[in-house]
Chains A and B, each alone.
Chain A
Amino acid sequence: EAQVTQNPRYLITVTGKKLTVTCSQNMNHEYMSWYRQDPGLGLRQIYYSMNVEVTDKGDVPEGYKVSRKEKRNFPLILESPSPNQTSLYFCASSFGSPGANVLTFGAGSRLTVL
């Protein structure tokens, strides 16, 4: 089944404890992206990647890192999480760059930082 898989789905952590949210897709998509969803703000892009070893900042990149060493994986790293990073996170992928391409989303990862 074609899908985007995120892990963990739920995580409670404490301020400053490094964590990684993994994202993997099995559709050979070039484009991958991370979003955070907060009430009343919709989805805001954190980072995106057009292909392997090509990443760029989205609208809200502060406090996050990403890497794209393999085409299928695009992990999101929080080096020193803070409470304002408590949010619902989505990974998504599509063929090629945006435009007419459809985004396929993971199921989401709900992160709470105490």
Chain B
Amino acid sequence: AQSVTQLDSHVSVSEGTPVLLRCNYSSSYSPSLFWYVQHPNKGLQLLLKYTSAATLVKGINGFEAEFKKSETSFHLTKPSAHMSDAAEYFCVVSDLQFYFGTGTSLTVIP
């Protein structure tokens, strides 16, 4: 079975500084991987997905993630945080089902 571990439950960054949200997964074969974002009182929205094409995936709002098979990681990054990035972020792996991480809450300090 697949599993997903988000290594930080909370991350705080200052506005304009880089963002790193970490995700490790376990998989018996090449998975599909996703990052979703949930703004307060909203549903989840797709940020980006990896499906065995390029290992560096670009998403919306300046986010990107790099698939590293040797490290079984799919960390989410952004060069410069904006106040509007404050939200909950979920890493997801899928095969026959979707498996969600427990989420990382991102706080952006002005």
Interface residues of A (CB under 8 A from B): 4, 33, 35, 40-45, 48, 58, 90, 92, 97-103, 105-108
The main secondary structure of chain A at its interface with chain B is loop
Does B8 interact with chain A (Cβ within 8 Å)? no
CB neighbours of B90 from chain A (8 A): 42-43
Known A-B contacts A99-B32, A99-B94; A107 and B103 likewise in contact (beta carbons under 8 Å): no
Pair A41/B98 contact, Cβ less than 8 Å: no
Which 6 residue pairs spanning A and B have beta carbons closest together? A42-B102, A105-B43, A100-B51, A43-B100, A98-B94, A105-B44
Q: 23 pairs across A/B with beta carbons < 8 Å?
A: A35-B100, A41-B102, A42-B100, A42-B101, A42-B102, A42-B103, A43-B90, A43-B100, A44-B100, A90-B44, A98-B32, A98-B95, A99-B95, A100-B32, A101-B94, A102-B46, A103-B34, A103-B46, A103-B92, A105-B43, A105-B44, A106-B43, A108-B43
Q: Which residue of A lies closest to B44 (CB)?
A: A105
Encode B28-43 as 1/0 by CB contact (under 8 A) with A: 0000101010000111
Interface residues of B (CB under 8 A from A): 9, 32, 34, 36, 41-46, 49, 51, 90, 92, 94-98, 100-103
CB neighbours of B45 from chain A (8 A): 105
Q: How far is the CA of A33 from the CA of B98 in the complex (A)?
A: 10
Pair A40/B32 contact, Cβ less than 8 Å: no
CB neighbours of B36 from chain A (8 A): 103, 105
CB neighbours of A100 from chain B (8 A): 32, 49, 51, 94
Pair A98/B98 contact, Cβ less than 8 Å: yes
Q: How far is the CA of A105 from the CA of B102 in the complex (A)?
A: 17
Q: Which residue of B lies closest to A9 (CB)?
A: B41
Q: How far is the CA of A58 from the CA of B100 in the complex (A)?
A: 13
CB neighbours of B9 from chain A (8 A): 40
Known A-B contacts A90-B43, A107-B42, A107-B43; A102 and B96 likewise in contact (beta carbons under 8 Å): no
